[in-house]
Amino acid sequence: MLEQVKLKIFQKLQEFAYFIWLILLVFIAVFITHFYDNNKKNQIYFLEKTMNNIFFQKSLEKIASELTPRFLFYDYEVNNGDTYETIIGQLNLPENEKKLFLETVKKNKNLKILRLNQKISFKIDRKNSPKILEFKIELDKKKDALFKKTEFAKEYYSEIIEKTLEKFLIFKEGSIESSLYSTAINLGIKPNIIVEFARLYGFQVDFQRDIWKGDSFQIIYEEYKNNEGTIIEIGDIIYASLNLQNNELKLYKFEHEENQIDYFDENGKSMRKTLMKTPINGARLSSSFGKRKHPILGFTKMHSGTDFAAPTGTPIMASGDGIVLKAGWCGGGGNCVKLKHNSVYQTVYAHMSKFGRGVKKGARVKQGQIIGYVGSTGLSTGPHLHYEVIENGKKINSQKLKLPSGQTLKDQKRKDFEVNKIKIDVLKSELISKIN
């Protein structure tokens, strides 16, 4: 990018220099004519002779050609229906150059599929016959593929360019009105951060019953931006606080083992449990565990799970680490996923509209991973999640399930955590002071 800017500045200076040189040549010709003879007729004769001079003509031709920039820079953003053929066809290039470009991109497996708004840029040498000296194609938000060749080369060599991203720490706080999700969205918090926030507290907070109007929260998370200030990536939550009826629950990010990151409360106790209390955010408890009149079949039968009403497409999370036992059609349950967490617990998620990416029989999933999306498949009166917990082969009430708490840090790890906690608290104070 910087090299392109420097090149363009150099070209502008070059153009200006040529323009000055042209004016100087004309001035010299007129001056010489006047110096040799003040006679008007002789002046015209000498000027004509000068203009017909082969050296002078060649100089003018050189200047005229150089005033047209040799290098052309062309930036393009992919639209619907674009192909490499249609894009290269917009450039005034010889057929051999078009062919070389198309052969190059088709040989590269990373470039086979064009994405909407994907960026492509060209550097074209217009000396003699136009040719592409280099082109750059955006692979993703973090990487570009750059292809270069010399003026006389017949093929390109390529390299991957990693984009430089700058990390920013974002502080947000709010008072909950209707729901945590809607309040957070109105504050400009990204949806994946909201989902992660709910996951962290999902081990001990029921977001359908424990959240009240007036409850509040704070959050610090990472954003990564490129040189243009565009958000490229959302990082981790650094700190979170949830104040429920004046009972504040604080969580701190801490690397307790090498490459092992978890979240701990003020006392160094992990929030992680075997299973999350609620595997969905922003839903309403619509039907509890126990006997009920079936809404479709019409007779009273045992409802072996808990129903959470939510809009179609709402993400459903794995309530714990596990292996996918089934991801397919379950009769009245529609599209469903069944997970085995350990020798004791299994969970079932039914009536999905579709499955999460990579969710299939035998796949391993992580706690909080999106395994599917709310739907109304099978015997269902509307979009909802039917959630079951199976303990030692018996279906139980997920809302009354009591699971052991996570680990508590001790000894040196506890001391390291306390230092980390102080640093985060100081950071929070600094971010708040910047806002105020």
CATH of the domain at 362: 2.70.70.10
Does residue 268 share a domain with residue 119?
no
The residue from 33, 50, 67 where one domain ends is 67
pLDDT 10s digits, 295-307: 544 445 566 788 8
Give residue 220's pLDDT.
96
- Extract the runs of DSSP E, i.e. beta strands, from 13-101: 71-77
CATH of the domain at 149: 3.10.450.350
pLDDT grade for 2, boundaries at 50, 70 and 90? very low
Domain of 313, in residue numbers: 284-400
Does residue 394 share a domain with residue 293?
yes
pTM (global) more than 0.75:
no
Q: Mean pLDDT for the chain?
A: 81
Average pLDDT over residues 86-107: 90
**230 lies in a domain?**
yes
Class of residue 357 by CB neighbours under 10 A (exposed 0-12, middle 13-18, buried 19+):
exposed
Give the best-scoring range by mean pLDDT among 242-246, 258-262, 405-409: 242-246
Structural contact between residues 76 and 121, judged by C-beta atoms closer than 8 angstroms: yes
pLDDT 10s digits, 67-93: 567 888 889 999 888 999 999 998 889
**361 lies in a domain?**
yes
Does residue 382 share a domain with residue 298?
yes
The domain tally of the chain equals: 4
- DSSP-H helix ranges across 140-214: 180-186, 191-201
385 to 222, 278, 317, 328, 380: CA distances (angstroms):
31, 11, 11, 15, 10
Classify 286 in phi/psi space as left (phi over 0), alpha (psi -120 to 50) or beta: alpha
Does residue 369 share a domain with residue 291?
yes
Q: Is 368 a residue whose pLDDT tops 80? A: yes
Does residue 149 share a domain with residue 52?
no
**278 lies in a domain?**
no
Strands 335-340 and 345-355: antiparallel
Q: Is 417 a residue whose pLDDT tops 80? A: yes
Give residue 153's pLDDT.
73
Structural contact between residues 335 and 313, judged by C-beta atoms closer than 8 angstroms: no
Class of residue 209 by CB neighbours under 10 A (exposed 0-12, middle 13-18, buried 19+):
exposed
